[in-house]
């Protein structure tokens, strides 16, 4: 950027004029900016399992002290997902059935990825469900719409896996 402001006018002549009269400004980070990082660990007892993690994320926001900002919540494994939806068991069952139709676990031989591993379907399910969510924090609370909850979806379980929570704000 050559030392120029990130918020400069669209043409260089205007920028030079603002520099001369002292009105050109450099963007700055808020003086009260905070960052927070925490790993949450989960152990799925089944190959596919959904965990409601909203309470843990609320606790992270409280611990962070951030009143206005953003919370990033992402799966740290390529066969898992973090997503937002309703906390309704019938819906979770429907999601699992739908994902199994899109990328059935068996026969394992249908996937070129499967060789030493048998988890190609889990990789595909993660691709559909996504890696992370970002939620606004307003007045120290997660700023959800009605019925929204955060979930960790495991598609290749039976071992420990983690979710990263990163919070930034004031």
Report the pLDDT averaged over residues 157-169. 95
Q: In which band, very low, low, confident or very high, does the pLDDT at 105 lie, cut at 50, 70 and 90?
A: confident
- Which pTM value belongs to this model? 0.79
Where in the chain are the domains?
1-30, 31-169
pLDDT at 101 over 90: yes
The percent of residues in the chain predicted with pLDDT above 70, rounded, is 82
- Look at residue 22 in the predicted model and tell me its pLDDT: 62
The pLDDT value given to residue 32: 82
Of 47, 154, 166, which is closest to residue 105 (Cα–Cα)?
47
**Contact (CB, 8 A) for 167 and 60:** yes
> Locate tokens 């420990």: which residue?
160
Going 15 to 16 to 19 to 21, the CA torsion angle's sign is negative
Residue 54: its H or E element: helix 54-64
Looking at the domain that runs over 31-169, which CATH code has it been given? Answer: 2.60.120.460
């Amino acid at each position: 950027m050559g030392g120029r402001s990130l918020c400069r006018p669209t043409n260089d002549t205007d920028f030079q004029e603002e520099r001369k009269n002292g009105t050109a400004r450099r963007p700055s980070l808020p003086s009260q900016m905070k960052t927070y990082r925490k790993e949450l660990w989960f152990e799925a007892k089944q190959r596919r399992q959904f965990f409601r993690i909203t309470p843990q994320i609320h606790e992270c926001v409280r611990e962070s002290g951030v009143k206005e900002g953003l919370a990033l919540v992402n799966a740290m494994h390529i066969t898992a997902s973090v997503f937002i939806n309703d906390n309704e068991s019938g819906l979770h069952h429907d999601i699992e059935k739908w994902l199994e139709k899109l990328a059935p676990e068996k026969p394992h031989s249908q996937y070129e990825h499967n060789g030493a591993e048998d988890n190609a379907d889990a990789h595909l399910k993660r691709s559909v469900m996504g890696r992370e969510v970002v939620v606004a924090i307003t007045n120290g609370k997660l700023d959800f719409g009605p019925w929204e909850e955060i979930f960790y979806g495991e598609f290749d379980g039976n071992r420990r896996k983690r979710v990263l929570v990163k919070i930034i704000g004031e």
